[in-house]
Chain A
């Protein structure tokens, strides 16, 4: 039993072709890759919006921001 399409390195090497496991599953793998890539963008965008919103709520007032500017970086008021 082998997850690849060969079980030993004997014979004509060039006839082995692709050596990764589960040859034939490429279409499924590409679809999964596309889904993962798009999911990442959505997830990251949501995370970023949440963080920006939280920052604005905490420190987005004039008083806090003036302190930040006065202290230069990185002090927190």
Chain B
């Protein structure tokens, strides 16, 4: 920071990530609106608080150990090497607070907090994706433990493995997932599916012969505006996946560019094309396949972006559009097939929109970008279909579905997963509603008493 140009680079980077955090906050606003809109009136407040309180819990735990996991686990550990030293990311580090040093932590002291927050907002998103699918019957205590596990442990492990410039999946498999189709969406969708199995369906969701019934959104407006908010926040998500300024020139010379998370060149301009074209492809396909159903059309826009995200640093915009448009009917059909076949009650379609679309997105990127370098490091494997397919299985299955199923089953064993059927029937806000009615009645009585004592009939 001893000359203006260096200072400009550092301060711009600091501001860059800070602004992504502000945008990404809107994702959470959107998820809250969306979930409350999708829930029935008797569960609104419970649904809202369930999603709201994951914010502090994931934040605190991501500070205490999540951030360290990302930097310490790129080798597995013990898959291709040991734990990696990460002095700036340990919770006890001086760099995990306001710091004026220049160089003591290799430059991290200036951007640690904003980079941490950008990743943290991904953590909230991962937990929030799970939150929507389990509404109206899960216990808050159980859900918040699951939120910490997906938000501060499992997604961070997958990021360290497949979304880190030196992650073992990048090195060995050539795994490529620039905007987190698998790293955030497939894992969160897989985790949600793992939780939904032991959690079970809401009362009345399936008829006696197993036919599913629609429990439609109580407030379609709130749902759709919530999804618009998520689109808006997704801009911040995309930008936060980049490094804004990096010397990408190998060998002699200097060439500064934005890079993806693997430090490979990309441009904000290019990803803007692809973001909007994949959104468009998803919306157009979703409208047709759902016959204009607003809930599915909006969700399909999101699924379209997610499907193209793994390769949106490199795709042509029309490729991105078609990947989105082809993926959406598949995930739409899969949602209803899984629902019918396995009696899975995913209240908001999160497993399909995030899990299946993310999985497909990673697999497609393996074919579309076959032979591209996965990293600026020429010793790392190139992108290939098998590497990305194995990567998609790791994200959705190994780090998503499996922990979700195991931990939700454990919580069920200790009666910490699901409320009693009677509570589900009366609604999870019953105490609040009863108190409201008692207060309302008391106020009416007081008003009546005032009229009786101050006015003659």
Contacts and interface: CB of A to CB of B under 8 A. Distances in A.
Given A20-B97, A52-B423, A37 B61 contact: yes
B29 to A, nearest CB: 23
B426 interface: yes
Contacts of A65: 422, 425-426
Contact of B98 (A19, A29, A41, A51): A19
A73 to B, nearest CB: 4
B210 interface: no
A5 to B, nearest CB: 10
B185 interface: no
A74 B431 contact: no
Interface stretch (B127-135, B157-165, B349-357, B433-441): B433-441
Contacts, number: 112
Interface in B54-101: 57, 60-61, 63-64, 91-94, 96-101
Interface stretch (B139-147, B234-242, B243-251, B372-380): B139-147
Interface string A24-51: 0011011001101100110011001101
A76 B435 CA distance: 9
Classify the secondary structure of A's interface with B: helix
A64 B64 CA distance: 46
Contact of A55 (B91, B93, B98, B431): B431
Interface string B119-131: 0000000000000
B94 A17 contact: yes
A14 B422 contact: no
Q: Bin the interface of chain A by size.
A: 35 or more
B1 interface: yes
Contacts of B99: 17-19
Given A23-B94, A73-B42, 11 more contacts: A14-B101, A14-B102, A18-B97, A19-B98, A37-B57, A44-B140, A48-B141, A51-B431, A52-B139, A52-B420, A59-B426
The 6 closest A-B pairs by CB, nearest first: A14-B102, A45-B141, A74-B433, A18-B94, A73-B42, A60-B422
Interface of B: 1, 40-42, 57, 60-61, 63-64, 91-94, 96-104, 139-141, 144-145, 416, 419-420, 422-423, 425-427, 429-431, 433-434, 436-438
Interface of A: 13-20, 23, 26-27, 29-30, 33-34, 36-37, 40-41, 44-45, 48-49, 51-52, 54-56, 58-60, 64-65, 68-69, 72-76
25 contacts: A13-B100, A14-B101, A17-B101, A18-B99, A19-B98, A19-B99, A20-B98, A26-B94, A30-B64, A30-B92, A33-B60, A34-B64, A36-B60, A41-B141, A41-B145, A45-B141, A52-B139, A56-B422, A56-B423, A59-B434, A68-B425, A74-B41, A74-B42, A76-B434, A76-B437
